[in-house]
Structure 1
C-alpha cells in the first residue's frame, strides 16, 4: 500500500500600513502585509485490497479568506520556505486579527457597527458581535429607519436588538410637565426635561423602551397655541429628539402604543385618530372615533391586540379598535357614572378607576376575552384627587402629588397594597408615570 499527497496554495500579498491610536495623543504606526490565500489539498491511498475494500480518495478544500484592508493587517514576515514558517505566520496573523477586532469594540457607532458585525461573524468574534448589536439596540429607532442598515440584518438579529432594549432595570418614571426643577425631589433624577417639551395638555406613552411625548400647546399664557410637535426620549442614551409632527394639533389627546405603532386618539374638539410608524417616521390617519360618541375627555389603553377607549359625556360606552380591520366597535360600560380618571391594561384585563369625591376609588375590571365588567375593589378616601396610572408586571401604580398607591392586579384577590412609596409633593402639575428600562451600571462603560 502506498499514499500520494498533493497540495496547492495560492497566496496574494499586499503591503499595507495602519496607524493605531494610543493613550493621549500618541499614535503607533504598524507596517504590515495583507494575506489573501487559497489552499487545496488532496490525498490518495492505494493498497492490494479488492476494489470493494479499497479506500475512496478523500479531498479537503479550504475556501479563500479575504481580509478587509481597513481592518486586517499582518506583521511583516520573511520568506516562508517551510511548512512550519507558514504556520507561524498564520498564527501571527490570527493574533493580529484578534488585537484589531478587540480594539474595534470600544470604537463603534452607527457609522461602522454594521461593518463590525460582518467582521465579527466572519471571524467568530463574540465580544465584537455583542458590542455591535448593543450599539444598534441603544439607537434602535435610527437603525429601524435606515434601510441600508436594518435591511442587512437577519430576522434573529432584528428581534435581538429589539428585545435587548428591555434588558435593563425596569423603573417607574414620573414626569412633571409643568416644573423642570427636579432638585427638590426625593426620587432619583433621571434627566432634565427640555423646555420645549414642557407643556400643558400633553400626552405620553412608551414603545420599544422609548418615551413619546405629544406636546399639547406651544408657548405659555395667552400666547399658547395648540401644537403638533412630538418628542422622543431614549433612556439608554438619555437623548431627547423631535420626531415627525402630527397632521393635526390635538391638545389633551391620548397617546397609546399598540404592537409596532403609536396612536394619537382624539383631543380637544377632535374625533380623528392618527398612527405613527417609527420605521418611516410618519403619521397617518386611521378610522376616526364614531360620531356622537365622545364630547370631551376620554381614557384609552391597549389590550389583547386592540385599542380601548372609554369616557365622554354623550354616551357611557366602551370603544374597541381593531388595527387589522381599521374599524371601531361599541361595547356596554357597566358600573357607576362617576368620573373615570384612568384605565389600564394588565394581561387580558382592563382596570378602570372611578373616583367619587366622598366615597373614594372604585375599581372595575373588564375581561377583553369574555367581555364582562364587574367591580373588583373599593377604597374609601375622602376628597380623592386626580391621578395617573401605569402598569409594571402585575402592579398598577397610581401617582398624584398627594399619594403613590399600588394596586395588585391579581385575578383572585385584587386590591391596593401597602402605601410605602414616597410622594412627589413638590410637583406643580399633573404627574405622568411611565415604565422604562434603564441600562445596568455594569454595562454603562461599554455603551456609546
Structure 2
C-alpha cells in the first residue's frame, strides 16, 4: 500500500496491466472461492486510485492484455463455472464491451500480445490442464487455434520477444514444470529451449529493453 493512497481491499488471483501511467487491477477474488467484477486504476503520477466500471462477468484467475490501447479481460472463473467470455475496456469512456468468446473455457492461462493480436495459451477447465493455444484478431473479432504447446501448462507466464512467444514454467496438474518453449508464428511451431534453473509457478515474466546512447566515443547507460 502506498502512503496516502486509499487501499482497494484484499484480493488475489486478479489481473494487472499498465496503460501509460495507469496501473489497472482487474477482477480477482477476496475469499478464495468466488470471483469479482470490480476493477480499479492506480495512477503512478497523482498517486490516486479510482473505481472503474465493473465487468460483465465476475472473474478470478483471468488473463489480461492490452491491445491498441484497450484492456482485455479474458476467461477466468467465478467459483461455479469457467469462462470463455472476453470483454474489452475502453479507457476513455470507462466502459466494458463483450467481444467474441474464446473457443475453450480457461482459467490460469497466460496471455500476450504479438503481431497486433492476443495469444492465450494453456490454463485449465473441467477437462484438466490444457496445452491448446488460440489467437484473437481484433480486425475480424475471431479466435482461432494455432499449434498447441509441447507441454500442458497452468499458472505460468507468456512473454513476447523478437517476434516469438515464450511459455515459461507453471504446472501440469500433478507436478511443477521447469521447461520453457518458444513459438514462432511464421512457422506455427513450438520448440523446446533450455529449462528454468528452478521450478516456478504463479510467476510473472517481463521483457526489459534497455537503450544505450553513443556519445563522444563512449556508450552511456540509459
SS at match of 2:97: strand
- Mapped to 1, the partners of 2:98 and 2:90 lie a distance apart of 11
Could you tell me which residue of structure 2 aligns to residue 255 of structure 1? 64
The number of residue pairs the alignment matches comes to 200
Which residue of 236, 249, 254 corresponds with 2:45? 236
Is residue 302 from structure 1 mapped to residue 118 from structure 2 by the alignment? no
**Unaligned segments of structure 1, at least 5 residues:** 1-179, 181-189, 395-448
- Mapped to 1, the partners of 2:72 and 2:202 lie a distance apart of 24
- Mapped to 2, the partners of 1:191 and 1:340 lie a distance apart of 31
Aligned-pair distance for 1:208? 2.0
Could you tell me which residue of structure 2 aligns to residue 266 of structure 1? 75
Is residue 226 from structure 1 mapped to residue 27 from structure 2 by the alignment? no
SS at match of 1:392: coil
Q: CA RMSD in A?
A: 2.7
CA 1:248 to 1:338, structure 2 compared with 1: closer, same or farther past 3 Å? closer
- Mapped to 2, the partners of 1:359 and 1:252 lie a distance apart of 18
Structure whose alpha-carbon radius of gyration is higher: 1
- Mapped to 2, the partners of 1:294 and 1:225 lie a distance apart of 17
Aligned-pair distance for 1:312? 3.4
- Mapped to 2, the partners of 1:245 and 1:355 lie a distance apart of 29
TM-score with structure 1 setting the length: 0.41
CA 1:376 to 1:227, structure 2 compared with 1: closer, same or farther past 3 Å? same
8 A Cα contact 1:342 1:353, kept in partner? yes
Aligned-pair distance for 1:195? 3.3
Is residue 321 from structure 1 mapped to residue 132 from structure 2 by the alignment? no
8 A Cα contact 1:304 1:347, kept in partner? no
SS at match of 2:169: strand
Aligned-pair distance for 1:243? 1.4
Deviates more, 1:318-327 or 1:370-379: 370-379
- Mapped to 2, the partners of 1:384 and 1:376 lie a distance apart of 16
Could you tell me which residue of structure 2 aligns to residue 284 of structure 1? 97
Instruction: Write the deviation string for residues 81-131 of structure 1: whole angstroms up to 9, x where unpaired.
Output: xxxxxxxxxxxxxxxxxxxxxxxxxxxxxxxxxxxxxxxxxxxxxxxxxxx
Could you tell me which residue of structure 1 aligns to residue 150 of structure 2? 335
TM-score with structure 2 setting the length: 0.78
Aligned-pair distance for 1:250? 1.1
CA 1:295 to 1:267, structure 2 compared with 1: closer, same or farther past 3 Å? closer
- Mapped to 1, the partners of 2:19 and 2:156 lie a distance apart of 23
